Structure 1
Amino acid sequence: MVKSMTRSVYVQMVGSQWVRQILESFRNYQMPGVGGPAKMIAVFWDDLKLSNGGRVYTWHDQIEKKFYVEWSEVRTYQNNSLETFQAVLYDPSYYITPTGDGEILLQYKEFNNTSYGSYSWDQIHGNYCSVGIEDHTMTRGLQYTFNDTYHDAAMELSDETAVLITTRGSDMRLEGDLNYDEVIDIYDLMLLVDFNLGYKGDR
């Protein structure tokens, strides 16, 4: 999760981004772990390349309070498979979670997990792609997939899929249901007004 205040990220071609650290790592590993950089969001951590019009874009949507990083029509180094995916970082001061962590949305328009890591030389690396996050200590994190293996409860990634990384539990509420009563009514409006005015008392 994005908990500490950060003003910059480093985006790399391998489909990862790091928060305030510059360290290249084209070889992907399990997460969390000491392989690769700390404070990492691995959207599609694999050996990728820009060719045939592939691009990496960033955009800060100041109105919606989101920061986008998109890898558009990039290709895997091993099999030249097309990939288009993005990470969306939600501003934790605007999108409030129980822990104060920022939510991260990973979206996949074209997902081709084809790099098994066997090249013409003896060393085998790659292990398909890694998807997940890890903190600055490299000891805490969330691995969604590594080596084309998923947890039993996880959906396998494919075209037009997305993963929301959040500290909210299964009680994800209706948009606008600020008091968690499963009804959008005047009480939600009152909470919103109080929040915007900075009111801290109980009603």
Structure 2
Amino acid sequence: MHLPAGTYTVTTSGYGFASRTDTVTIAVGRTETLDLALTAVAHHTVSGTVLDVTGKPLKGATVKFTDAPVDAVTTGADGTYAFPSVAEGSFHLAASPSAPVLCNGNWTGALTVDGNETVQASLPPRTDAAGTYSCAPGAYSWIDGRTKVALSGDENAEAVALPFPVKYYGVSYTSAYITTNGLVNFLSPRLGDYANTALPAAAQPNGVVAACWDDLTLDKKSSVQTTTTGTTGNRRFAIVWNNAALVSDTSVRLTFEAVFDEATGAITLQYKGIGSSALQKGSSATIGIENQAGTDALQYSFNESVLKDASAIRFSPKAA
């Protein structure tokens, strides 16, 4: 390395060694050699627990150092992890969920190792790419439908008036389309949605709430109902699919709802009567929300058997 004459400060560091700082003076026309001996530092155990978005231990999460050459580890059934030998120093630790991700986000934290360390990683609620919405398991509180919607058969949609303006991805709506395939579509009654996709997707339909997007049919045993509860400013509007049947197997029935909250702008998806069937649990369904351009979404699941009886998923907009 060629440097102009002068005095320089040289700092040397490396994983597993104490950093050191030296000065060297370079004279005109001279070559200087600087031999540096680094001192090894002690190693310690780093261990802890990864908790999911509900505060429960999370199995199968990946924990890693983002700035140290230490192999990543995976949490056990009790959510615990351990790095048996980590050099002293300041680092960053990261934890991420394995599939199904559901509403679990990624966690990062700064860590100074100067002894045996215990770090609890509490995963935050996951968000869409823009941070417009986050999702988390909600408090289950089923709302029965009261007003029947004139919707039946296969591949049909019906427009409904909303009892209050619903703001969705920055746009206020006074009406929406309900489809037989478990969608609330704010843009159009576009059909051909029998083949569910992962979200986001540029292809239509866009601007949807996928309460349980699957190839469903509404027969004589099925219905879609709506209801409004609460008083002005604190109303909740529920769209309820009762006993909808899968086209592929009409013996499999699904009851679910999408609830819009006037006060908070949150959207809650609720599931009732989910049994042991993989199809009932969502093995061929998409659950989540998508923006109007099909460029951003918050997908809870895609073709995964993750739905549970008496459960709720809450999508909350970012506070203004």
**Pairwise same-fold verdict (TM > 0.5):** yes
- SS of 2:172's partner is coil
Cα distance in 2 between the residues matched to 1:19 and 1:61: 21
Query: What is the aligned counterpart of 2:206 among 16, 38, 59?
Result: 38
Cα distance in 2 between the residues matched to 1:49 and 1:166: 29
Distance of aligned partners of 1:51 and 1:113 in 2 relative to their CA distance in 1, 3 Å threshold: farther
Query: What is the aligned counterpart of 1:11 among 162, 178, 182?
Result: 178
Alignment partner of 1:143 is 2:299:
yes
Other-structure match for 1:85: 256
Query: Following TM superposition, by how much is the alpha carbon of 1:167 offset from its aligned partner in structure 2, in angstroms?
Result: 3.3
Cα distance in 1 between the residues matched to 2:296 and 2:310: 28
For 2:182, give the aligned amino acid: G
Asked whether the 8 Å contact 2:207–2:290 carries over to 1, the reply is yes
For 1:166, give the aligned amino acid: S
Encode CA deviations 1:15-39: one digit per residue, 9 max, x unaligned.
0111132211111000011243111
Query: Following TM superposition, by how much is the alpha carbon of 1:165 offset from its aligned partner in structure 2, in angstroms?
Result: 0.6
What are structure 1's unaligned runs of at least 5 residues?
Answer: 96-101, 116-125, 150-155, 170-203
For 1:143, give the aligned amino acid: Q
Encode CA deviations 1:40-84: one digit per residue, 9 max, x unaligned.
000000011112420001123362411110000111111221100
Alignment of 1:12-31 (within 5 A): 12-24=179-191, 25-31=193-199
Alignment partner of 1:163 is 2:313:
yes
Query: Following TM superposition, by how much is the alpha carbon of 1:168 offset from its aligned partner in structure 2, in angstroms?
Result: 5.5
For 1:40, give the aligned amino acid: V
Cα distance in 1 between the residues matched to 2:293 and 2:211: 19
Cα distance in 1 between the residues matched to 2:307 and 2:188: 28
Query: What is the aligned counterpart of 2:237 among 59, 62, 67?
Result: 67
Structure 1 runs of 4+ off > 3 angstroms? none
For 2:269, give the aligned amino acid: L
Alignment of 1:117-136 (within 5 A): 128-136=284-292
Judging by fraction of residues, say which structure has more strand.
Answer: 2
Alignment partner of 1:104 is 2:267:
yes
Name the stretch that deviates more: 24-33 or 126-135.
Answer: 126-135
Name the stretch that deviates more: 34-43 or 9-18.
Answer: 34-43
Work out which of the two has the higher radius of gyration on C-alpha atoms and give 1 or 2: 2
- SS of 1:58's partner is strand
Q: TM-score, normalised by structure 2?
A: 0.42
Cα distance in 1 between the residues matched to 2:278 and 2:199: 17
What are structure 2's unaligned runs of at least 5 residues?
Answer: 1-132, 134-167
User: Highest relative contact order (Cα 8 Å, sep 6+), 1 or 2?
Assistant: 1
For 1:164, give the aligned amino acid: R
Asked whether the 8 Å contact 2:213–2:285 carries over to 1, the reply is yes
Judging by fraction of residues, say which structure has more helix.
Answer: 1
Encode CA deviations 1:141-194: one digit per residue, 9 max, x unaligned.
111111217xxxxxx31111110011369xxxxxxxxxxxxxxxxxxxxxxxxx
Distance of aligned partners of 1:161 and 1:49 in 2 relative to their CA distance in 1, 3 Å threshold: same
Cα distance in 2 between the residues matched to 1:113 and 1:9: 30
Query: Following TM superposition, by how much is the alpha carbon of 1:113 offset from its aligned partner in structure 2, in angstroms?
Result: 4.5
Asked whether the 8 Å contact 2:183–2:209 carries over to 1, the reply is yes
For 2:173, give the aligned amino acid: T
Percent identical: 27
Name the stretch that deviates more: 5-14 or 16-25.
Answer: 16-25
Cα distance in 2 between the residues matched to 1:56 and 1:106: 15
